Amino acid sequence: MVDMSAQASLAVTRVTDALRSGTASDVAAVLADISPGDIAHLISSSPPSTRDELWTLLDHEQEADVLNELPDDIRNTFLAELQPEAVAEIISQLDDDDVADILHELPQADTDKILGSLTDDDRDRFETALSYPDDVAGGLMSTDALTIRADLSMDVVLRYLRRHTRLPENTDSLIVVNRDYKYVGLLPVRTLLVSDPHVSVREMMKTEREPLDAMTSADEVARRFERNDWISAPVVDPQGKLLGRITIDDVVDVIREQADHSLAVMAGLGDGDVFTTVLATAPQRAIWLAINLATAILAASVIAFYQDTIEKVVALAVLMPIVASMGGIAGTQSLTVLIRAMAMGQINDRTEIWLVRREIFVSIINGLIWAFVIAVIAAYWFDDTTLGLIIAFAIIINLITAGIAGASLPLILDRLRIDPALAGGVVLTTITDVVGFFAFLGVAAYFYN
């Protein structure tokens, strides 16, 4: 049996070769055989001019599925070039949760025009999902769900399913509701298939599964899916009335977007497209370079304050990077631990105190160990026991400071509603540099002046 991933890779290679040779008909023929996900990956991995060429070569039937797989910024670029009627025709082929994701990213004026171009049934269906923010369960859900009543027999349910030409994607359970359409429980499809046809749904359904509230955050939805290995989950309003369901494919998108966001912001890059133009990319990076320059000047001012001491003892200039580097690494370790715990939903009033205390004690132990090691190296290197003691003191102070700052900064920034992944590294580096240099050069000035 041929590996399907290998086939997809081969198809992408064929498209790339055809683009190079300039044979558009060959490209279109290959694109017709590639899955929407692979086409979207190919488009997002190409420069803007090539993206436009690939989009124009798609079959009309492919546009909706490919559009749904594209990153938000690239998808919005294509949509901006289409008339509202054309967009309405494309999105009417998608599930309502996917449509909500697309329309949430567009200006309200464009969304209103697109909704006005839809049929009444499609408009009502999409407006339900659009009534919720895109970062909560209501914004992730699809209203395309199969519901049954508890008093039905298994045989009746099977006959009901056979009347459908297709089942909603990722249908692992049927949702049981009462006469008021309030959630009651779930009937797994596997249970339905192996149960006595005359047994009622009430006897076989699962009632222990709690539904998701429509305002549950997307982060919490992802964590609950991960912890419980869910394929789908019902979504209800505050009164318990069923609104729709969330499926695993939507949760995978949430997890991927979170990972991309965290990776980008920790480098100060934002969430932009890899192939963003030079003029758009340079200002984004310039902002964080300016912030870094300001913090570097602050650290440099500490060094300048002890310039006379450094001129007397040149070894201080040699050893300063060690103090800063050790503090930076120790602080980053603590910072990463806390940010990861926050991302996984492991932080609460009890655990945050335990984690901060743990990071402080770890920093004290490592500070004592490495202070001794570095003191011996410095004393031997420069034949100066006093210098060894000075850097040992600075290492202990800086590592303890790094542990405290690294563990507490994510919690403080989160309470201030600032993304810890975005601002934590910059603030931490400033703290460890300033404290490290001040401790090292301050003590040195006391002994050598």
Alpha carbons 235 and 244: distance in angstroms, whole number: 5
pTM for this model (two decimals) = 0.61
Token pair belonging to 364:
């004290």
Torsion angles phi and psi, residue 215, rounded to 5: -95, 10
How far is the C-alpha of 191 from the C-alpha of 150, rounded, in Å?
14
Domains and CATH numbers, the chain: 4-137 (1.25.60.10), 147-248 (3.10.580.10), 278-448 (1.10.357.20)
Q: Which two tokens stand for residue 195?
A: 């149960």
Radius of gyration of the chain (CA): 29
Half-sphere exposure of 446 (CA within 13 A, CB side): 10
Give the pLDDT confidence score for residue 2 in this predicted structure.
Answer: 44
pLDDT at 176: 94
Quick one: tokens of 196? 């006595």
- As a dihedral over the C-alpha atoms of residue 29, residue 34, residue 38, residue 42, rounded to 10 degrees, the angle is -10
Is 399 in contact with 261 (CB distance < 8 Å)? no
Best CA proximity match to 38, nearest among 19, 24, 58, 18: 58
Please report the pLDDT score of residue 148 as a whole number. Answer: 92
Q: What are phi and psi of 3, to 5 degrees?
A: -65, 125
> CA of 54: how far to CAs of 28, 39, 42, 352, in Å?
8, 9, 9, 50
φ, ψ (nearest 5 deg) of residue 45:
-95, 15
**Residues 110, 104: Cα–Cα separation, whole Å:** 10
Q: Is 383 exposed, middle or buried (0-12, 13-18, 19+ CB in 10 A)?
A: exposed
Q: What is residue 181's predicted lDDT score, i.e. its pLDDT?
A: 92
C-alpha 343/C-alpha 362 separation (Å) is 22
Question: Which residues of the chain are modeled with pLDDT < 70?
Answer: 1-24, 96-97, 258-278, 280-281, 284-285, 288
CA dihedral 28, 34, 38, 39 (to 10 degrees): 20
Long-range contacts of 272-280 (CB under 8 A, 24+ apart): 272/73, 273/44, 273/71, 273/73, 273/74, 274/44, 274/45, 275/46, 275/47, 275/48, 277/48
Which one, of 387, 83, 99, lies nearest residue 250 by Cα? 99
